[in-house]
């Protein structure tokens, strides 16, 4: 069985409605929300520490701007009373926020991370956290990302982008687990 430290913090990143709106491209993981909600439910049932992360974009016209309806959390991902929320305006949840301070106050050195998108905010947060000396765990089947233009007139499928980033993170920055792994460890 996989071990999770009791002070490990669950960090759902950018589980927001705006990613379902134009101009965001096609995503691949239809189970992202279901897996993320299962993680939240199990984590809450064990009364473990949890910090939500929301992207409050400063980009004009973004579906993630605070005044846009897309800034809202996806159904089921709204922080409950007493649960912490960190808001950011860049990819890394550590930049311009008090996330590091919150983690130190909790005595936490391990983050269990999932969200949208694997290759952007999730990956950047994991890389920064690992560089800060934190133990990072990526829940790969509770993440999602978008297909992207390849710069040559074609498109790179979202699943290929996800798989490449998971592989890179696994090599140097994070332990990679599935939702089932975490649920079994709790």
Count of CB atoms situated within 10 Å of the CB of 183: 15
Closest CA relative to residue 141, chosen from 45, 5, 33: 33
pLDDT beyond 80 at 55:
yes
Tell me whether residue 149 is exposed, middle or buried, using C-beta atoms within 10 angstroms of its C-beta: 0 to 12, 13 to 18, 19 or more: exposed
Is 154 in a helix, a strand, or coil? coil
As given in the structure block, the two tokens for residue 176 are: 């990679």
pLDDT, tens digit (0-9, with 9 covering 90-100), for 64-90: 999 999 999 999 999 999 999 999 999
Work out the pLDDT band at 3, boundaries 50, 70, 90.
confident
Phi, psi for 155 (deg, rounded to 5): -130, 135
Work out the pLDDT band at 51, boundaries 50, 70, 90.
very high
Q: Is 96 left (phi over 0), alpha (psi -120 to 50) or beta?
A: left
What is the share, in percent, of the chain residues with pLDDT greater than 70? 99
pLDDT, tens digit (0-9, with 9 covering 90-100), for 99-133: 999 999 999 999 999 999 999 999 999 999 999 99
Q: What is the arrangement of strands in the sheet containing 135-144, beginning at the earlier edge strand? A: 84-88, 51-55, 9-13, 110-116, 135-144, 175-177
Q: State how far the alpha carbon of 88 is from the alpha carbons of 1, 13, 30, 52, 92, in Å.
A: 35, 10, 25, 11, 8
Q: For the whole model, what pTM was predicted?
A: 0.96
């Amino acid at each position: 069985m996989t071990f999770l430290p009791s002070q490990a913090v669950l960090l759902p990143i950018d589980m927001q409605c705006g990613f379902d709106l134009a101009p965001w491209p096609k995503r691949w993981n239809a189970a992202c929300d279901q897996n993320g909600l299962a993680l939240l439910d199990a984590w809450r049932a064990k009364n473990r520490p949890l910090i939500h992360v929301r992207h409050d974009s400063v980009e004009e016209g973004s579906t993630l701007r605070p005044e846009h309806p897309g800034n809202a959390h996806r159904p089921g991902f709204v922080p409950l009373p007493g649960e912490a929320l960190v808001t950011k305006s860049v990819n890394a949840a550590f930049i311009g926020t008090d996330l590091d301070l919150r983690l130190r106050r909790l005595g936490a050195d391990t983050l269990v991370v999932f969200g949208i998108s694997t290759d952007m905010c999730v990956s950047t947060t994991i890389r920064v956290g690992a560089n800060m000396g934190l133990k990072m765990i990526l829940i790969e089947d509770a993440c999602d990302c978008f297909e992207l233009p390849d710069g040559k007139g074609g498109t790179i499928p979202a699943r290929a982008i996800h798989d490449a980033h998971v592989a890179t993170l696994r090599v140097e920055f994070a332990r990679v687990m599935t939702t089932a792994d975490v649920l079994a460890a709790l």
